[in-house]
Amino acid sequence: LPIYVSLDSADVWSERREFLLDKAGRPSRVAGVPPDYFSEEGQLWGNPLYDWAAQKRDGFGWWIRRVEGASRLFDAIRIDHFRAFERYWSIPAGAETAKEGQWEPGPGMDLLRVLTGWFPHITYIAEDLGLLTPEVHQLREAAGLPGMKVLEFAFSGPGNDYLPHNYGSRRCVCYTGTHDNDTALGWYDHAGEAERDFAERYLGASGRENVRRALLRCGMGSTAELFVAQMQDYLALGSEGRINVPGVAAGNWRWRMAPGAAAAGLAAEIRALAEVYGR
């Protein structure tokens, strides 16, 4: 469930009162994130921001309608950019980079209480990635949502929270990588020497293909209540199979699985691995 919608979307056109827009329908401030792991300039997304005060006054009806629509299609919903529910990055419209933004308070439990109360049958996952603060973790715990553990972010050292031995609780979801990450092989190919060395020592494997397989086994064998891997990682694809490069506007979201790629042998391999770890 993407945190924001596009300026030219049907939602913004038909329900302008839900967003921070002027009388001409132009946003005064737009969405993005400050400089982080993915981009030194930050990410200037340009989406219009929500008028949280107005949405709270009407009981967050727009969000209820949005999640109701998603619930017809999915049993589980990953709430994108969860940290924005605690505090979000607000950038002046017309700014050249996201560096010009500032933090603003999000809706917090006022909204999350509504969503979990209206739709108790839905499994929510909090995408609690990025520049996190104790307040973000406290909000996720208050809402009772599992967070994310991304293995491709894990291999900086033994104290990294994304390493399976540091999970501490099953109340999390382990991923090889998200839609913003490279594939497992692409990550290995572009990793720094220290990161790659530690990954090989942690996984007990060396070489790109062996590490790919070990990464999948590592996630399957973790204590996380759910393990998610990109199909590209099971298919042993390199960076040509990457879905999205954050901060790059063109050329993304084009990967499609080729006909016949999901062969019976691969299905048997995945099933065998899942059975070993009780998945």
Q: Model confidence over 253-267: pLDDT tens digits?
A: 999 999 999 999 999
| pTM score of the predicted model | 0.88
Give, for 64, the enclosing helix (H) or strand (E).
Answer: helix 61-71
CA pair distance 205, 189, nearest whole angstrom: 15
| pLDDT of 150 | 98
Exposure string over 65-79, b if 16+ CB within 10 A, otherwise e? eebeeeeeeeeebbb
Q: Is the dihedral of CA 257, 214, 228, 161 positive or negative?
A: negative
In this prediction, residues 214-236 reach a mean pLDDT of 97
| pLDDT of 216 | 98
pLDDT in tens, 109-163: 999 999 999 999 999 999 998 778 999 999 999 999 999 999 999 999 999 999 9
| pLDDT of 52 | 97
CA pair distance 82, 37, nearest whole angstrom: 17
| pLDDT of 76 | 93
Domains of the chain, CATH where assigned:
59-87+106-276 (3.20.20.80)
| pLDDT of 48 | 97
CA pair distance 124, 63, nearest whole angstrom: 14
Please, what is the average pLDDT of the chain?
95
Q: pLDDT band for 38, please (50, 70, 90 cuts).
A: low
Of residues 207 and 39, more confidently modeled: 207
Percent of the chain surpassing pLDDT 70? 100
Would you say residue 96 has pLDDT above 70?
yes
In this prediction, residues 36-50 reach a mean pLDDT of 87
- Active site members: 80, 127, 180
